[in-house]
Structure 1
Amino acid sequence: MGNPLDDLKPNLKKCYYCKKQNPLEESHKIRYKCSCDSCSNRKELIFICNKCYNAKTQFTPSGNGVIDEFIVETLDTMYGEMEFVSY
């Protein structure tokens, strides 16, 4: 039998983008298709936290291609947070 205290612990999963541990109910489960040939493009289940999910899906292009490309590339490659500051 398992430890009764295990039921009290939240079920944590690591976010695919920011690599932080997040409760499962706060994560978005997404089927991700691998692009390598060694795994025959099998689909994997990845977890994305709310903060990363919103950053990836709620991005509104500014109309400036250079700035938009920078923002998209930064959101895709950075493991931290990007803060928008009005000027």
Structure 2
Amino acid sequence: MLERGGVPFSNANVSFLRNFHIALADTSPTSASQPFVSTDGVINARARVLGGGTCINAGFYTRANSELVNESYPWMEKQIVHQPKLAPW
């Protein structure tokens, strides 16, 4: 599968991480992203380059305080985990 558009790597907004935020906001004819509205009305951006959405996508994660995480496990287990009642075979 090929997506429409040109090769994105000459675009500084795609090639350099420090410009990532610009790539999503730039909707000019030479940008790597294109605005669209989904059928349910969600405003978003999609790739307009050869290679697809990986040129404008990123992942984010955070780590919780490990003490808080360790305290949360017993609470969660108490809330949702249960031991089934097993009958003899």
Asked whether the two chains share a fold, i.e. TM above 0.5, the reply is: no
TM range (shorter): under 0.3
Which one has the bigger strand percentage? 1
* TM-score, scaled relative to structure 1: 0.21
Q: Considering only CA atoms, is the larger Rg found in Structure 1 or Structure 2?
A: 2
* TM-score, scaled relative to structure 2: 0.21
